[in-house]
Amino acid sequence: MDKFISDQIWDLNIPFIPHTKEDIRVMLETIGASDIEDLLAGIPSAVRLKEPLNLPLRMSELEVIDELRRLADMNRVMTCFAGGGVYDHFRPAALDAIISRPEFYTAYTPYQPEVSQGTLQAIWEYQSLICELTDMEVANASLYCGGTALAEAAALSVRYTKRGKVLAAATIHPNHLQILRTYGAAFPFDVEIIPAENGVIDLKKLKVLLDNDTAAVMIQHPNFFGLLEEMGEFEEMIHHNESLFIISFDPISLGLLKSPGEYGADIAVAEGQTLGNAMNYGGPYLGVMAAKQKFVRKIPGRLVGQTTDTNGRRGYMLALQTREQHIRREGATSNICTNQALCALAAAGELCFLGKSGIVEMAEQSLQKAHYLAEKIVDETNFKLKCPDGYFFKEFLITSKYKAKPVIDKLAEKKLLLGPSLGRFKPGADEYSFLMAVTESRTKREMDWVVEELKQFD
């Protein structure tokens, strides 16, 4: 029996592979092969690997946990006043009870609806919750992240209007603008930047830039600097030009702020991390996309629809799949296949736990605390607001005579995380300013502590 299998394989005893020596023997016999090498004979020997891969030795579970914990401990978890599109908002403990269910996280894409109603109904509810939050008519099942959602919205507008460029606000998150440019270079569409004045869009400049090749105007609100744009001024101008109005929003802000739907947006996109997803050093996050009904057949990514089964019972399935790559191939509305379903589930859970009052309270507390901290910094330290005349929601731009990076590094030593600095995104940009964000999760004590620490820069 031993000739059928090398001792080495037997000795490995990997817990993720169930075959015994005897199993392998019987299976090879069934196949009519003398050993596993026989099955690999179709690979030309010239391209066979002659040596074992050069990787660290395998580890037991205890050792893996040890190693990963060592890496985790090399990172500094801090009290988070950082912003820049990713925020430390409250995630109820019960949320983890939902997203850690293997029924959800070990399931495949719901192409077989009869055995995927759990995922399908949850995603349909997610779509519905996003529509309620944004006052938009349809929402898709998710895209990768806020930046790719913005880029996909631009691509949609270019396809829909058959025009060649998008106008993007200078006050959009710089990483999102970079993603937009990268997608645009290939698609191709041009990206023109609408200049800003005092941290917000200069309406006069927008008016000049709008022309008959403008597929869409893209505004982030609140913008990258945390400021509120004069959102009421845009729609008429944009629609008069027969361009699409695309708004990138902060989901939590919609507990208080007017929604993309109320502003007349054609497409609304967001980074959905704040809806129940941990900061996770950058991902996985959630690309939210909602739109007016008339774009439903142009929208990228999966959509779940409600229908009935042969017994007339309510059920859910992937709808309008002829937009998608596995059916339409080169004619698809996007190449996206795998999306961020589990992150969308987390968002649905978060919105359900918060409910109608929670989203308002979360937004209100963020607003109040951010203003408390901003005022205290201005009153008691040498740091000031970079744009003191602008209105802001939960994030604001701070400046001083000190370079931002050393300030951020110094406070990081105390486990207080500020930033990002503007200089981080563009070499040569304003190196003296940095962002701070305050969510409902921060306390007065923590804020007073930050102010004390900032006082040392006199």
Site residues for another protein, 37-76, by CB under 8 A, read 38-44, 46-49, 52-59, 61, 63-65, 67-76
Computed on alpha carbons and rounded to an integer, the radius of gyration of the chain in Å comes to 26
Q: How far is the CB of 428 from another protein (least distance, A)?
A: 14
Contact between 384 and another protein per CB under 8 A: no
Instruction: Closer to another protein by CB, 57 or 458: give it.
Output: 57
- By CB under 8 A, the residues from 248 to 307 that bind another protein are 254-259, 262, 278-285, 296, 302-307
Instruction: Closer to another protein by CB, 256 or 378: give it.
Output: 256
Q: Which of 204, 207, 328, 455 binds another protein (CB under 8 A)?
A: 328
Contact between 181 and another protein per CB under 8 A: yes
Contacts of 237 (CB under 8 A, 6+ apart): 203, 206, 207, 210
- By CB under 8 A, the residues from 224 to 243 that bind another protein are 228, 231-232
Residues touching another protein, count (CB under 8 A): 205
Contacts of 126 (CB under 8 A, 6+ apart): 139, 141, 142, 344, 345, 347, 348
Q: How far is the CB of 242 from another protein (least distance, A)?
A: 25
Question: What's the CA gap between 277 and 88, in Å, rounded?
Answer: 9
Question: What's the CA gap between 268 and 221, in Å, rounded?
Answer: 11
Q: Which of 169, 351, 387, 422 binds another protein (CB under 8 A)?
A: 351
Segment interacting with another protein, rule: CB under 8 A, options 101-109, 194-202, 209-217, 380-388: 101-109
Q: Is the dihedral of CA 82, 83, 84, 86 positive or negative?
A: positive
- By CB under 8 A, the residues from 198 to 217 that bind another protein are none
Instruction: Closer to another protein by CB, 314 or 455: give it.
Output: 314
Asked whether 371 and 349 are in contact (CB, 8 A), the reply is no
Question: What's the CA gap between 409 and 78, in Å, rounded?
Answer: 12
Q: Which of 92, 164, 264, 423 binds another protein (CB under 8 A)?
A: 92
Segment interacting with another protein, rule: CB under 8 A, options 186-194, 205-213, 235-243, 378-386: 186-194
How many other C-beta atoms lie within 10 A of the C-beta of residue 62? 8
Question: What's the CA gap between 223 and 371, in Å, rounded?
Answer: 17
For tokens 């982030």, what's the residue?
Answer: 220
DSSP 269-299: EEE-TTTT---GGG-S--EEEEE-GGGTTT-
Q: How far is the CB of 116 from another protein (least distance, A)?
A: 6
- By CB under 8 A, the residues from 412 to 451 that bind another protein are 412, 417, 419-420, 424, 440, 443-444, 447
The 15-34 site mask, x for binding another protein (CB under 8 A), equals: xxxxx---xx-xxx-xxxx-
Q: How far is the CB of 437 from another protein (least distance, A)?
A: 10
Q: Which of 164, 195, 264, 315 binds another protein (CB under 8 A)?
A: 315
Q: How far is the CB of 363 from another protein (least distance, A)?
A: 9
User: 313-325 burial string, b = 16+ CB within 10 Å, else e?
Assistant: eebbbbbebebbb
For tokens 């080495």, what's the residue?
Answer: 8
With 0-12 CB in 10 A as exposed, 13-18 as middle and 19+ as buried, what is 252?
Answer: buried
Contact between 128 and another protein per CB under 8 A: yes
Instruction: Closer to another protein by CB, 322 or 456: give it.
Output: 322
Q: Which of 365, 381, 400, 433 binds another protein (CB under 8 A)?
A: 365
Q: Which of 4, 160, 187, 457 binds another protein (CB under 8 A)?
A: 187
Is residue 420 reached through a cis peptide bond, with omega within 30 degrees of 0 on the bond before it?
A: yes
Pairing of strands 214-221, 165-169: parallel
